[in-house]
A = this chain, B = another copy of it.
Amino acid sequence: MSYARQMLDTFTRTVHVDADVLAAAIDAMSDCAQSCTADNAADLSEPNLAEMVTCIRLCMDCADICTATAGVTSRLVDYDPGVLRPLLESCLAICRSCGDECERHAAMHAHCRVCAQACRRCEQACRDLLAALD
């Protein structure tokens, strides 16, 4: 059981979102931030560097947005939909773009294949959390 799930289980205050969906989202965001940071560093060592520039850029944006979204959702108490909804939409959008770009390089670079999986999982987790907020 992840720390995010364990922490949620200890919250005495009611969180008005399904705890499984929320914990899955927090874990997916943390994993995606880490994968994107590692992937752009790996991209920088590849011989076809010039073709990796878009992947590097998207990974940096994706890591920044996933980190912030993981922070906000980790302390989720009486969430403000005016803040959280667009933040999740932005996170979903960058995970989709970054996942698409990583997938383009997946056959050549195993690190991009792993990162694409982390992005896809986070994209879906954002979608699930947005649906759970309704």
Measuring CB to CB, which residues of chain A are less than 8 angstroms from any residue of chain B? 2-4, 6-13, 26, 30-31, 33-35, 37-42, 44-45, 49-50, 53, 56-57, 60-61, 63-65, 67-72, 74-77, 80, 82-87, 89-90, 93-94, 97, 109-111, 113-115, 118
| Cross-interface CB contact of A35 among B3, B97, B111, cutoff 8 Å | B3
Shortest Cβ distance from residue A68 to the other chain B in the assembled complex, whole angstroms: 4
Shortest Cβ distance from residue A49 to the other chain B in the assembled complex, whole angstroms: 6
A interface secondary structure, majority: helix
Is the CB–CB distance between B11 and A111 below 8 Å? yes
Is the CB–CB distance between B93 and A80 below 8 Å? yes
Chain B residues contacting A57 (CB-CB under 8 Å) are 41, 44, 75, 77
Interchain CA distance A64-B110 in the complex, whole Å: 26
Chain B residues contacting A61 (CB-CB under 8 Å) are 71-72, 75, 83
Is the CB–CB distance between A75 and B10 below 8 Å? no
Is the CB–CB distance between B39 and A7 below 8 Å? yes
Chain B residues contacting A89 (CB-CB under 8 Å) are 86
